[in-house]
Amino acid sequence: MRQFPRSILVVAACALALAGCGGESPAPAQEPEPAAAAAEPADEEPDETPADEVAARDEPAGTTIPDGAVPASSDFPFPVPEGWALLEPFAEGSIGGSDAVTGILEFPGDAEEAAAHYEALLKSAGYDAYPFALGAVVNDASILVEVEVAGTMYKGGIDFNTHADGFQKAVINLTVG
């Protein structure tokens, strides 16, 4: 009976030693000197970045409006499909404590076709847009988007539904982030 607990202690000590919890610690690793810094002559100045590249990095990025789209407004130039009525202008607010912009458009035709059209339109402008299956469970169709508008990154959803008032609405909720 006395042997059993002692063997458990021996096994535990071996496991700790193998896991790196033993008595000896390895010597700290020496970091090698960068070869590039030693090889570069001290009298040369680094290449200068052209002024137009520096300005392009410092200015907020513009918003791309692809063919077949118009800006939602002059204050918020988010691309919206041509011919879609603006039922509720884009307005700043908050969603879940985050700064946000929301707007409502009226789309023509089938919700799934309208969502696919809007997704293709946003992708043609270089934005990330993709179907949102979870959103489509409670809406007729839904897409998620990540866009940069006037230098600010927005993420959010566009939900497509036919409402009781008869309007086919694309509800756009974009949060800063």
| pLDDT band of 173, cuts 50, 70, 90 | very high
| pLDDT band of 139, cuts 50, 70, 90 | very high
Whether the predicted pLDDT of 16 surpasses 50: no
Whether the predicted pLDDT of 108 surpasses 80: yes
Q: How far is CA 140 from CA 113, 123, 136, in A?
A: 10, 21, 6
Is the separation of the CB atoms in 86 and 105 below 8 Å? yes
Residue 115 structure tokens: 């969502």
Instruction: Report the predicted TM-score, pTM, of the whole model to 2 decimal places.
Output: 0.64
For position 161, what pLDDT does the model report?
A: 96
Domain residue limits, the chain: 62-176
Is the separation of the CB atoms in 100 and 176 below 8 Å? yes
Summarize the confidence of residues 46-73 as an average pLDDT.
59
Tens digits of residue pLDDT in 81-91:
999 999 999 99
* C-alpha torsion angle, residues 140, 127, 151, 90 (rounded to 10): -20
What is the rounded distance in angstroms from the CA atom of residue 106 to the CA atom of residue 84? 6
What integer best gives the mean pLDDT of the chain? 77
Summarize the confidence of residues 153-172 as an average pLDDT.
93
